[in-house]
Amino acid sequence: MTQKSVKRYVDSILSFLPIGVKVVDTNNVTNTYFTADEIKAMGAPKPKFSLFHLEISLNKETNQPEFSHTPQEVVSSILKTFDNGLRALQEISQLEQKLLPNLFKSNQKMFLKVPVKPEFLPEKPELGNLKQLPDENTWVFEEYERLEKKIQETVAPVLEYLKTFDKYEKEYNLDTAKEISLFDDENDPPEPEQLRKEVIKHKQEEERLRKEIPEFIEVSYFKINCKEIRNTLANKHASIAAEQIELIAKMAKRMSNQTMEDFDKINLKIESTPKDIEELSTIKEFMENVPNEIEKLEREIKVNVSVYSILNEFQYKFADEEDYDKQWRLYGSPLETVSKISKQGNYLEKEKEKFVSHMKTDQAEFDTKFNEISNLVTSFSQYSDINNFEEVSTAAKGIFTRLQDAIEQAKVFNNRELLTGQEETAYDNINALAKEF
């Protein structure tokens, strides 16, 4: 009975072991459990399931792939179960002693006679030597050896499978922070298209890794969980791509903010209120040059829109809805500015009429003041007494100052007439009077 139990245990384990394992790569492993003749006899191969689970992860210290526990530990546990089974049999009491205690003189507890596993294969007796008997425990050693040999053979493919991950050495050493920092330079930012290509590259690498590395795979009598290392490596590329998309988003925000700020400055200048004819003329002159500025900004808008298109390609969502709306504001900025020019043009025309009206009133007052100065110059000849030189000097300085102010005011009037398209008033008599004085 003991022999049958042991053989059944060994046969049970071996029935789950493949007769052959072919490891091609991380996602291609073939386990063969039956010969062609066996399949033909059965009609179809019977399904098999893995006896043990292993997990592959990346060691944080060595940065290399490793199993959650070594396959050799599994081998040891199978063989240990074999040994523990024999020891457990040794603890089974004899049934006869329990059922017929009167037949046994001693009360000492008696156990089943159980075979013991030899340390080494017992030697066979010499042929013809009847005095030598075969070791009754030989079969135990042979069953143990049969089990050990087969499970050791089928562990080798598992170690071979781990080696298929050697090709991901580049991913193991990929420093995501360093990779991102190569492009995160505000003083020398990369071109948006360059970043776009980088994002596509890393997304393709992520996809490649998720295709090449399965979540689970059966190798020999092990089901190997590759989820953790698969996600670790793929997520490196995914995080780089995500951060690079964020860099593109920052670039879009920075560029759109600058362009919008430039339009705001233009609009502010257009809509400013002139205090006099000179400021009004400056605003009109600025407005005449605005189409050239818009043309320059439209080139920037085109670049901005291309950056937003890249973000749309990657289905990027801004956290702030206002950032998302900026691209549409950029579209409408040139038309908005042109509309402000038209509106402000009408306003400035009305202001021009007011300024011209005020100027004519000022010119009329100026003519009155000029007549006063002319009379002073004419009457200056009355000062002929040398003893009154101080009074004469003060009067002369006062007249001279008023003449100089009049000359400057006349220039202002002529300039404003030129700016507003009015006929120029001749103020030659002022210069003549100044020479005469």
For 243-353, CATH number? Answer: 1.20.58.60
The one-character DSSP state at 316 is -
Note whether 222 and 71 are within 8 A (CB). Answer: yes
The pTM of the full predicted model, rounded to 2 decimals, is 0.69
Q: Is the pLDDT of residue 156 over 60?
A: yes
Distance CA 287, CA 281 (A): 10
Question: Given pLDDT bands bounded at 50, 70 and 90, which one contains residue 40?
Answer: low
Note whether 92 and 112 are within 8 A (CB). Answer: yes
Q: Are strands 222-225 and 216-219 parallel, antiparallel or unpaired?
A: antiparallel
Percent of the chain at pLDDT > 90 equals 25
Q: Are strands 28-32 and 20-25 parallel, antiparallel or unpaired?
A: antiparallel
Q: What is the mean pLDDT of residues 352-373?
A: 75
Q: Is the pLDDT of residue 279 over 70?
A: yes
Of 94-103, 112-121, 174-183, where does mean pLDDT reach its minimum? 94-103
pLDDT of residue 216: 95
The more confidently predicted of residues 152 and 163 is 163
Note whether 247 and 184 are within 8 A (CB). Answer: yes
Q: What is the mean pLDDT of residues 358-363?
A: 77
Distance CA 437, CA 282 (A): 37
The one-character DSSP state at 424 is P
Q: Is the pLDDT of residue 158 over 80?
A: yes
Phi, psi of 314, deg, nearest 5: -95, 10
Q: What is the mean pLDDT of residues 291-318?
A: 90
H-assigned helices in 36-191: 36-42, 71-90, 95-99, 138-153, 156-163, 169-172, 176-181
Most confident stretch, 195-204, 294-303, 371-380, 403-412: 195-204
